[in-house]
Chain A
């Protein structure tokens, strides 16, 4: 407990968290590329140290404009020129096709020169306009405007990174749109990860004449996560945790970065759950997983309450009371079960009250939604905690779209980690929850095209 706490406290005391705001590294790695092998002539080896260095090669766009000696600026320009030649053509996309949602990140360049503007083909322009001027696409596509990373420099270009999601069920519409917009004429590589990259590969090929570059989802997840944490969230830390998670009164959200992120237990809650022990960017293992994930929450909620969307389900859950549905320790023992240190308020049997018809008739849909959410969340917390202890890792990072707009679950996970580990474990969360896989896929695009 003390160890984990002191680590963060120390940082808190020493000033701001590690926020990569550019100022401190000005002139150091300005205008770097996300992948430096060609530019700097260094090898593409994936050793820890070089990977770590690469972390600092990406900076906010204003870095490029900051002062420096004329000679230095000249040198930088030359590098930028050479970079440009090996840069992949626009548009830059990264896609993560999950079981329920497709996550799409799109890099919108804002440093387009007049010359470029003229060269830019019409349908590329229309894609850019379509994506950046709308916040909703079709019936189900959504751009998470609040997550947009502005003035980011990637591969020598400055721009905004947009975060878009739509249901996997709409995948065929998306592919059709790719065909209609003659996407294949742009000769871009579409980097995709997630199971759908495999499942829909053939559809992309036959319907839209597009070749996917298929990437491993866990590789992408880790790479994307570390990247976003490094570049920070428009000047603010990407990560956060809850202080005093066991006390509802004084529980507050605090921001933080994943400075010295390793080792970490990474719990990715999508439709299902994967739990990874991550020792470095390239050294990780999948410890376990569970099929009780976000898909289970939504699936059960739809069956139990007739709701149709995640938002609806969460809205109901926020109003419900799970203790009408769950049997607590005190419902069985009249109070605490002292011999085994079980509090009376602990859940003894999820949905246990529902064995009785009277109780079934007396509960609301909101109660059911809440109980479903609490059951799934506690179970994930429990498994994650066991894995953390087994792997001897104190920092548990929860990501995935299940946590989107879901403070009930984030607080519960923080509480569960803290309470059951007696303060030994700390739950951390990241603002871009479910998008890291897609970011990782985009980074792969920028990396691969540089390889000779």
Chain B
């Protein structure tokens, strides 16, 4: 039986209302399988971490054995649902007042008597070690963990990409008080200072001033207040700015300076806001002074509520600030308890869920199968940002995409239900999915303030994050692959047409064929259930064919058109190896991409096809692509030779997203890129080449191809529906050397 030990028993507020605003079973999930616990009881908040396993369904494809003719019907492969077990870390944070209730709940629901408390709590010697460990971990592993806050910038939050080089840095940990720690390496750190004005001051003083008991309520109050009615500003003293010192009129000269009067009432909101400003500015100032003193340029803030402070020091905020101690305690415990071998020292985890209520905050992270790494061909990995548009910055785009995703939700729900015809409760699950995803969208739509006040809960907001969140939600409700049947049908249909398509291409002259191949890839890309405009057409007109798609395509010159340069390049020597990030299944991969690949192989270029590890929309997965490629090889000697001679290789991208983050790829893929001396990267489709990577700079030649299947986006880019983006880029250095060759 699990045993819980507490070091800090200062469970303040026994008299506080103990009702739990979220049902505990939605907070403490997967307790039945919980294996390890870590608990960190701080001055005001308790953080609980546990390791558990979750069972969820995954869609698998398996090729029929055609020799025994067991296959009935025309299907090339069968789809099955299997149970898979994933390791998941759960982190929960709640006010100390709920400790008893929560621990009772946990004890009652622990089924597994083998459960060990690996880190009953953080003893005082360990506290800082845990904190630093947790901080190093999130900085290394969680994308967009850190963000920069700039008060007067267009976008107040700017997220940082994960970087391997994180030291040295200053960690400002805001608990009840503030600790300032200089971290020089994984194990070397020093507390160089602190302040007693911290989260406890905000809460304590806030409770006195506003008679509001809860921390989150205080933050809510602050979000609605006007600090200028309580604070004395420079302009209140000067009538304007203090020019000679460069102090602007809006600067706070004296916090609460206006409240020194008996004959005026101040609103709770205004006082809470003023208090928030006072404390966060003070912490920011101290952090800057310490950073300057110790000559550190990177300062990470972990804590409840933090704002930037002007200065030459870059202030970085952590999204999972409150969990650093618990994550670190967990990792430390896992290290000391290697017997089980369950956890590596630095497990690769992927954050899955983040939920908040007035009382609880939870975070869940799933263990990843493999390590994710940068594409070695990125020109500057440290400055690479996958997303083309940051929706936190762009209100118009945000509004459109949130609307777009909400509009498309009914279709997604229908398709999810249709994908599991044998399961009667599918409709119910689909409905839950709808509610959850819609709630997320509406929160983002109707409360843009949420983005301002708790960016931590959401990370960056991009088309990619909206797409990925949808996939996560579908998975959560056991819809691992709603498009499996559609993909299957389309693949079967397209395969029948493959030989004819190849024959037509072979009859063309070399010059004509190059253009036809590109048009083929583009026309194939029109077939996409992920894009609303297309799925409407596909659903209403099943006869919509490949030839029709070609006719639908924009005539040259395209919206972005570097075909001439590409064509000139093709006249030159063949590429050594091309890495092709593919998009949809069906017509796209079989009739568009494969003939193109075939031509590359014929030229003597090796080809690596990178497809998704797991399902996302109707994108072809690595599992499906293997079956399809074998089936094509059976019809096509060029592809067959390619496979046999290992000149055509299939790898998984490591992702299950309709978009592509070139900084988080499967490490086998990265290895293949290096080994094969890849000199051409081809990225296909809106999700991978427009929403993401449109501006990605590679150190080799690249080709980005997509058809704009969304009229709003087309309009924004200055084109129309079905406009074509064909972007062939050569990095500056090789262009230079090419220019030198003629002489």
Contacts and interface: CB of A to CB of B under 8 A. Distances in A.
Contact of A302 (B10, B199, B259): B259
B203 interface: yes
Interface of B: 8, 10, 12-16, 43-44, 124-125, 128, 175-177, 179, 191, 193, 195-201, 203-205, 207-209, 213, 230-232, 234, 236-240, 242, 244-245, 251-262, 266, 271, 278, 281-282, 285-286, 289-290, 292-293
Contacts of B285: 288, 290, 383
Most buried by B among A201, A325, A357: A357
B196 A375 contact: yes
Contacts of B196: 326, 346-350, 352, 375, 378
Which 3 interchain pairs have the tightest Cβ spacing?
A354-B204, A299-B256, A295-B254
A224 interface: no
A349 B195 CA distance: 8
B176 A295 contact: no
Contact of A296 (B201, B254, B271): B254
A299 B201 contact: no
Nearest to A169: B261
Interface stretch (A39-47, A181-189, A237-245, A385-393): A385-393
Contacts of A327: 43, 176-177, 200
A352 B177 contact: yes
A291 B254 contact: yes
Interface residues of A, number: 67
A98 interface: yes
B394 to A, nearest CB: 34
Contact of A352 (B14, B193, B201, B213): B201
Given A272-B257, A303-B259, A351-B204, 6 more contacts: A290-B282, A295-B253, A306-B262, A349-B177, A350-B196, A352-B196
B197 A350 contact: yes
Contacts of A375: 196-197, 201
A301 B256 CA distance: 10
B15 A387 contact: no
Given A348-B176, A352-B43, A299 B198 contact: no
Given A304-B208, A347-B196, A299 B255 contact: yes
A51 interface: no
28 contacts: A99-B237, A198-B238, A272-B254, A288-B289, A291-B255, A293-B255, A295-B232, A296-B254, A303-B266, A325-B204, A327-B177, A332-B43, A340-B179, A340-B191, A346-B196, A348-B177, A350-B201, A350-B204, A351-B208, A354-B208, A356-B13, A358-B12, A358-B14, A358-B15, A359-B12, A379-B282, A382-B286, A390-B289
Contacts of B239: 195, 198-201
Contacts of B252: 272, 291
Contact of A271 (B230, B254, B281): B254
A298 interface: yes
Most buried by B among A290, A352, A357: A352
A386 to B, nearest CB: 4
Contacts of B259: 299-300, 302-303
A293 B254 contact: yes
Contacts of B293: 386, 389-390
A359 B11 CA distance: 12
B213 to A, nearest CB: 7
A24 B179 CA distance: 53
Contact of A272 (B44, B213, B253, B271): B253
A103 to B, nearest CB: 14
A386 B12 contact: no
B10 A357 contact: no
A194 B236 CA distance: 12
A360 interface: yes
A347 to B, nearest CB: 4
Nearest to B179: A340
A319 B732 CA distance: 74
A162 B15 CA distance: 57
A300 B262 contact: no
Given A199-B238, A292-B278, A303-B271, A349 B256 contact: no
A352 B176 contact: yes
Given A199-B238, A299-B259, A390-B289, A358 B208 contact: no
A337 interface: yes
A355 B124 contact: no
A302 B242 CA distance: 28
B506 to A, nearest CB: 75
Most buried by B among A195, A301, A326: A195
A295 B237 CA distance: 12
Interface in A145-185: none
A349 B198 contact: yes
A431 interface: no
Nearest to A197: B238
A421 interface: no
